[in-house]
Amino acid sequence: MKKNTWLVLFFLALAVDLVAIYLNNEMIRYFSKPLIMIFLIGYFASQLSNIESSLKKWVISALIFSCLGDILLLFEPGDPRFFIFGLSAFLMAHIIYIFFFHQVRIIENIRGKTWLLLPVAVYYAFIITWLSPFLGDMKIPVRIYAVVISFMFMLALHMLFISNKKAGWSMAGGAFLFVLSDSILAVNKFYGSFEFAGIAIMLTYGFAQFLIVKGAIDYIRS
């Protein structure tokens, strides 16, 4: 398969999934949603097939856990426990992305920038303060998840200071969209559902993963 074919298939799967959400067709989503990350993994692997790098395993692992999370969340309507299972899978994906961004920071010899904690801390305080009264038994899991994704975002912001600026902005932008996607999901689930929330969640999630992957490809190639 041609390298760019994987990318076309990725965007096609994402588009089909968005249409399925709009039509409220869960049957189509059982096929379209898992394929999004599968095709993105194919794109990433094909773009770097001739390049040896220890960084590749982190991105592929994060995408695998993301795919697992996508699949598990499909079964949430039938069993609420699958939300916890899916949340756990995405928690692992974020932890792996943390290791990936940390490794890039070490390679680039970028010292930790503590001032980046400010916007991340503001985000965390805002979202947790807002949602806490509505979380019920999910209060602790959501707080833990929010801490991890906030830390992931902080490390991703360090990518803005790497030598390959294009790759850095892509990865940081992807991390921002990931936080936005998860925030929309949390608001929709715990605070109150709103129209087109599902489309907004998947659209920001799809582009978040794509930008992180595209940035990682550009960086590893450089």
Task: State pLDDT tens for residues 145-178.
Answer: 999 999 999 999 999 999 999 999 999 999 999 9
Q: Does 4 score more than 90 pLDDT?
A: no
Residue 46 vs residues 2, 98, 174, 217: alpha-carbon distances, Å? 8, 23, 20, 10
Percent of the chain with pLDDT over 90: 91
Residue 75: Cβ-neighbour burial (10 angstroms; 0-12, 13-18, 19+): middle
pTM recorded for the entire structure: 0.95
pLDDT value, residue 78: 86
pLDDT value, residue 114: 85
Q: How far apart are CA 22 and CA 20, in angstroms?
A: 5
Residue in 139, 149, 212 with CA at minimum distance from that of residue 182 = 149
Average pLDDT over residues 181-197: 93
Supply the mean pLDDT for the chain. 95
User: For 84-143, how does the pLDDT look when each residue is reduced to its tens digit (9 = 90+)?
Assistant: 999 999 999 999 999 999 999 999 999 988 888 898 999 999 999 999 999 999 999 999
Percent of the chain with pLDDT over 70: 99
Domain count, the chain: 1
Amino acid at 108: E
pLDDT value, residue 181: 97
Average pLDDT over residues 29-41: 97
User: For 38-66, how does the pLDDT look when each residue is reduced to its tens digit (9 = 90+)?
Assistant: 999 999 999 999 999 999 999 999 999 99
Q: Does 22 score more than 70 pLDDT?
A: yes
Q: How confident is the model at residue 34 (pLDDT cuts 50, 70, 90)?
A: very high
**Distance in Å from the first CA to the final CA of the chain:** 24
pLDDT value, residue 133: 92
Residue in 40, 1, 51 with CA at minimum distance from that of residue 220 = 51
pLDDT value, residue 8: 96
Output the six-digit token pair for 127.
């979202």
Average pLDDT over residues 191-219: 96
Output the six-digit token pair for 8.
């076309």
Using an 8 Å Cβ cutoff, are 79 and 31 in contact? Answer: no
Residues spanned by the domain of 128: 3-221
Q: What one-character-per-residue DSSP string does 15-80 give?
A: HHHHHHHHHT-HHHHHHHHHHHHHHHHHHHHHHTTT---TTHHHHHHHHHHHHHHHHHHHTTTT-T
Q: Does 1 score more than 70 pLDDT?
A: no
Q: How far apart are CA 41 and CA 18, in angstroms?
A: 20
Q: How confident is the model at residue 195 (pLDDT cuts 50, 70, 90)?
A: confident
